[in-house]
Amino acid sequence: MVRQSISRVVSGLAEADPHRVVVRDDTATLTTSELDRASDALARAYLDLGVGQDSLVTVALPNTVETVVACVAIWRCGATPQPVSLGLGIAERAELEELVRPALVVGSRSSSPDVPWLPAGWVPPAVSAHDGPLPDMWAASWKAPTSSGSTGRPKVVMAAGPALIDPDVAVAPFLPRDQVQLVSGPLTHSAPFTYAFRGLLTGHELVLLPRFDERDTLRAIAEHRVTWMMLVPTMMHRLLRLPQAERAAADLSSLQTVLHLGAPCPPDLKRRFMAWVGAERVVEVYAGSESNGVLAIRGDEWLQHPGSVGRPAGGTTVAVRSPAGVDLPTGETGQVWLRREGDPTYRYLGTPSMRTDDGWDTIGDLGRLDDDGYLHIVDRVDDVILRAGVNVHPSEVERMLETHPAVRSAVAFGVADDDLGQRIEAVVDVAGATVTTAEILAWVQQRLDPARCPATVRIVDEPVRNDAGKTNRRTWAARTPPRGADTA
């Protein structure tokens, strides 16, 4: 394996095929040579602003060509990109910046007057031919994304791996080289960021959508002959809500692989999705921002183990344990622990991880193993609702809500209740459909036992999950109107 700095890899792509389009968005395209020149000029400007070896640079930009150039420029400085969600509030951004202490903020104003920032669209000065080449540098950590924050405040996850890569080797069997990759999830989230840039550096052409849209996705696949894309279950659900005639007319002939991850996928949803695109094209991966373990399963294999997220891969070992840390037998539900060969793959900034001295780690999921060693994820440990002594998994309630034809996405959560301990509440996004809370409640009550039915349902017309398929149930619970308030 011959690993090179990301700077050298990008220059190598330009030398090998200078006119190949490497990234495109709705308004612009960029060739390998243009990416090489633009990122070099931007890196010089970043260095002049104080970015240096192993600096952190906060990036708050949408899915555009500019984002790709900015991140490559950061790597050229020997620094680490730290992408953050555009949806964070002012207080959350300030808290993250206090933790990260970036050398530069790109895309939005820094919360501190002492930290320089550059707005979106900023163009650096032209590079003189007399400036000479930049030194070949790489950071000790190649990325520092935030975790999803689905169970609390996001954590900054510093990757242990340096900004070095072998461009001639596929990153993983499910991420082959030389693809046309559709990026519809936000590059500010860990998974889209990781797969997009790992793909870019191993010969992918990136097709960036500003955000996920069902029809735009199908149009982009056909127009750009997309071969590889990543989805989350919410996206799969929204695609299947399109009229059958539209789905039948969609040209998916170029598509080789659909990777899905980010949340447990309802078995019925996955079956219907694979019936449409083909089981052999679908790969599911279970992993976290921490890269502390990975499991994978192909669609045709999944049909033999429905509901599973796969078996360990990449040197991973998996265990399911009780709260006391005892390994549980096959079929019993407990907390999922992973161990990956080698050194730690990450560290959190400002907070300890759950990693044990012997390398076991958990991201807080509940699951069970079947007789063949396949893992089945149930829910998050912190999200389980205790209603009148009965453990209720909110994902179970959400799945049933999302079977209603009018519901685009749903989130369920527990709210304190004097009689029950916790009661179940839900919010559903119906995207403007004409439906009442009574109709949705009746639908669920016919399909779930009473102990698992939401007490009330609130209807909204905006997605309750972001484009990475994530939501924060605690935040929704805090927004829930008091009992007796109008929820229609």
pLDDT surpasses 50 at 488: no
Closest CA relative to residue 76, chosen from 3, 9, 18: 9
Res. 485 pLDDT band, cuts 50 70 90:
very low
Tell me the two tokens of residue 213.
């849209």
Res. 355 pLDDT band, cuts 50 70 90:
confident
For 384-479, which CATH superfamily applies? ANL, C-terminal domain (3.30.300.30)
Tell me the two tokens of residue 329.
């037998």
The domain locations on the chain are 384-479
Q: What is the mean pLDDT of residues 297-319?
A: 94
Mention every residue, 6+ apart, whose C-beta is less than 8 A from residue 439.
Answer: none
Tell me the two tokens of residue 382.
């912190």
- What is the per-residue pLDDT across 4-52, written as a single tens digit (0 to 9) for each? 999 999 999 999 999 999 999 999 999 999 999 999 999 999 999 999 9
Q: For residues 388 and 79, which has the higher predicted lDDT (pLDDT)? A: 79
Length of the chain: 488
Q: What is the mean pLDDT of residues 286-293?
A: 86
% pLDDT > 90, the chain: 66
Give the pLDDT confidence score for residue 70 in this predicted structure: 98
**409 three-class SS:** strand
pTM over 0.75: yes
Residue 231 buriedness (CB in 10 A; 0-12 / 13-18 / 19+): buried
Range ranked top by mean pLDDT from 118-122, 130-134, 285-289: 118-122
CA distances from 408 to 120, 214, 233, 297, 321 (A): 32, 12, 11, 26, 34
